[in-house]
Amino acid sequence: MEVEAYLGERDAASHARFGPTPRSAIMFGPPGRLYVYLIYGMHHCMNFVTETHGTAGAVLIRAAQPLNEHADTKSHSGPGKLCAALQINRSHNGLDLTCAGSTVFVVDDGFRVRRVASSPRIGIDNTGFWGRRLLRFFVAASPAVSGPRR
């Protein structure tokens, strides 16, 4: 399990940095919704909207451990690969993750995390303040982690 936090308008690396635009508007809405965008013209990335209505904030889901034992963890590690594996695309943007009727929703499966590690976010210019913040978090013992464990 691997995620990254994007802290809204003040975060120079967040899509919310320009304020509410057509693309980022979903991040300024109520929490518990899915924010999906296309990156580099070919990959999708998905985020969970986290802050209260009116304040932007989201968590990028970078990797997840598939419960299906036949599924390959590597194909679920990396934000683009995870969306490809789960067939998430922009048609899922704005989906209510708190509703069991949604095609994608969040539940508590009872798993309890032991140790969480952190690092700078991947793909962010690390010469600046926001590129150095430790806003990437991953379950230390999880095999579903993309990139360096530092």
Residue with tokens 């304040």: 55
Measured from the CB atom, is 74 or 115 closer to DNA? 74
CB of 125 to DNA, least distance (A): 6
Dig out the tokens for 25 from the structure: 């508007």
Q: How far apart are the first and last CA of the chain?
A: 15
Residue 74 identity: K
Cα distances from 105 to residues 48, 115, 127, in angstroms, run 10, 25, 36
Single out the segment in contact with DNA by CB under 7 A; choices: 40-48, 65-73, 105-113, 132-140. 40-48
Single out the segment in contact with DNA by CB under 7 A; choices: 64-72, 94-102, 116-124, 136-144. 116-124
Alpha helices, DSSP H, located in the chain: 79-86, 129-132
For residue 127, state whether it binds DNA (rule: CB under 7 A).
no
Measured from the CB atom, is 81 or 133 closer to DNA? 81
d(CA 23, CA 67): 32
For residue 34, state whether it binds DNA (rule: CB under 7 A).
no
3-state secondary structure 96-131: ECCCCCCCCCCCCCCCCCCCEEEECCCCCCCCCHHH
Q: Which of residues 49-78 bind DNA (CB under 7 A)?
A: 58, 60, 78
For residue 146, state whether it binds DNA (rule: CB under 7 A).
yes
Judged by CB under 7 A, the residue of 9, 10, 32, 47 near DNA is: 47
User: Contact residues for DNA (CB under 7 A)?
Assistant: 4, 6, 13-16, 18-19, 21-24, 27, 35, 37-43, 45, 47, 58, 60, 78-82, 121-125, 146
